[in-house]
Structures are given as C-alpha cells and as structure tokens.
Amino acid sequence: ERHIWPFLRTIEGRVSAEQILCGRGLENLHRAMVLEQRNRPPSELASALDFELRDHEITAAALNDSDGLAAEAVDLFCTILGRVAGDLALTGLTHGGVYLAGGIVQKIEPLLHASGFRSAFEDKAPHGALMSQIAVSLIRHPLPALLGLAKLAQQPELFLVDLEHRSWKSRAG
C-alpha cells in the first residue's frame, strides 16, 4: 500500500478514508496502482491518462476476473473498508454488529467475502478476540435511508429523536 500512496490523488491536500471508500476512491486506488505498476512518476497525476476506469468498470472487471489489477484494487478497497469498519466498531464497542451500506459493497459482495476485509476488521491487537465476535452484515435494500425515514414517519416512538422540541421553520415565512 505504501508503494501506491504517492500516486493517490488528494482532495485539499489529503487522502482520507471517506475519499477512498466510495466510487471515486476505488477509481483513485485503481489509477494509483496502474501508475505504480507502470513506474510512472507522480507528476503525471494531473495529466489525462488512457487507463482510467470508472468504478463500475473496475468492479465489473474484478467480478468477471478479466483484469487482475482491477481485482487487486477491489481487494485493497475491501481491506481498507475492513480496517476502517473495525476501527469504528472497536471505538464504539458495537456488540450489536456493524452494518455496511452503499452501492459498491452491494455490487462486490462475492469479492468482499473472499477479500482481506474480515482479517483487516479483526486485526486490532490486542483486541482480536473481541473483534472476532462482532458480526458484520450487508444492507441489501437499494434505498435504506428512505426505508428508515418511512419507518420514522410511521412510528416515531420507536426512535430516539426528539421531534417535539425541534424548531421546524417554514421556508415561506
């Protein structure tokens, strides 16, 4: 991973987990891996390159095993996701489990199970035994936020949201 670090595009001078764990981040990982493999200098980062793939192209190539570098990029994406999810699970002691959502993880589910996700999730010495007990589930609903909002509208008493003391101001007045 440290070999591709100089090749990653930064946003406002930095690379964060949020910038990697999304479609644009997967594209960034793949692009950096291609540059590193071709031994191209980081100064070429700003130029238009002929090998840049969109996230859906990378995931499709990894799923059908037609591009080894795409498969490596997805595996690295999964490993980083495992690290970040594990860090958050440990920080919050999420004994109830961790729930993954998002379009990419739904698309790459078979690769997620075969990747370094789980080992990266649990690699939190000296807490490995604790981490191995935390379940990780994938949310498969296409619009989970809307599903949750509909449930909130139907049964607000089930949620820890103080609706009574909120200031709901109309934009009209």
Closest CA to 76 of 6, 40, 43, 28: 28
pLDDT range class, residue 50, cuts 50, 70, 90 = low
Tokens of 149: 């909002």
Strand, coil or helix: 9? coil
CA–CA distance, 2 with 114 (Å, rounded to integer):
23
pLDDT for 160: 77
Rg of the chain over all Cα atoms, to the nearest angstrom: 20
pLDDT for 161: 74
Closest CA to 107 of 83, 134, 78, 80: 78
User: What pTM did the predictor assign?
Assistant: 0.81
Q: Which residues contact 162 (CB under 8 A, 6 or more apart)?
A: none
pLDDT for 72: 94
Most confident stretch, 28-37, 82-91, 152-161: 82-91
pLDDT at residue 168 is higher than 90: no
pLDDT range class, residue 114, cuts 50, 70, 90 = very high
